[in-house]
Chains A and B, each alone.
Chain A
């Protein structure tokens, strides 16, 4: 993996269902993995930052895991609500380089 990649590009989920999506990133020289929630015309909102292999973070119904050896992270949303509709962006940083390298996001739409 040379770039940060996210899948799927878009996702429609029935309200109340749980869902998850994937972020793949270069594992060489990896430092941290960031997840952001972004609604168009607003500012991206920081959800999680993870650094260690096996890290798990949770914020309400949203949680994330990190596998640095194979270079992927999962974001999980339990019991989806309409307000979860947004684009979820992941980004990685490398050692000695604080700039965020973004994936192109997963656009999540919750169907009431």
Chain B
């Protein structure tokens, strides 16, 4: 599609439950990024993918967070045993490659985000 599609728009989970978020990137975009937006507009990078391969996962809390981008499926971000501090808006973005490599000067196209509320 022409837009990054994120589902669901809102997700409510009790503390300790699992949460799974989905992202369909723009068709033809090779790169997918996940960002966590918490207080005061702080967008924190979590992980990026080049097609189905993890490109950079330096922002991921490894204990409970995992992500996948499988062929012919939406990408997913899963949080096991959620905590109150996981409450945030999770944005997915996609971008085109330039000559087959990720280029930091390509605009990233964002979805509308998934608002995750942990009670």
Per the bound structure, the CA–CA distance linking A97 and B55 in Å amounts to 10
Per the bound structure, the CA–CA distance linking A95 and B95 in Å amounts to 17
Per the bound structure, the CA–CA distance linking A51 and B42 in Å amounts to 23
Interchain CB contact under 8 A, A49 and B45: no
Closest to B56 in A: A99
Please provide the chain A residues from 63 to 112 with a CB less than 8 Å away from any CB of chain B in the complex: 87, 89, 91, 93-95, 97-102, 104-105, 107
Interchain CB contact under 8 A, A97 and B43: no
Q: How many whole Å from A33's CB to the nearest CB in chain B?
A: 9
- Known contacts A32-B105, A42-B112: A87-B91 contact under CB 8 Å: no
Interchain CB contact under 8 A, B105 and A93: yes
Interchain CB contact under 8 A, B56 and A98: yes
Interchain CB contact under 8 A, A99 and B33: yes
Interchain CB contact under 8 A, B45 and A99: yes
A residues near B56, Cβ cutoff 8 Å: 97-99
B residues near A99, Cβ cutoff 8 Å: 33, 45, 48, 56, 58-59
**Which size bracket describes the interface of B in this complex?**
20 to 34
B41 interface neighbour in A43, A87, A95, A98, Cβ under 8 Å: A87
Per the bound structure, the CA–CA distance linking A89 and B93 in Å amounts to 15
A contact residues vs B (CB 8 Å cutoff): 31-32, 34, 36, 38, 41-46, 49, 51, 87, 89, 91, 93-95, 97-102, 104-105, 107
A to B CB contacts below 8 Å, 29 in the list: A32-B104, A32-B105, A34-B107, A38-B41, A42-B112, A43-B91, A43-B112, A43-B113, A46-B108, A46-B109, A49-B105, A49-B106, A49-B107, A51-B105, A89-B43, A94-B104, A95-B104, A97-B56, A98-B56, A98-B102, A99-B33, A99-B45, A99-B48, A99-B58, A99-B59, A100-B33, A100-B35, A104-B41, A107-B41
B contact residues vs A (CB 8 Å cutoff): 3-4, 31, 33, 35, 40-43, 45, 48, 55-56, 58-59, 91, 95, 102-113
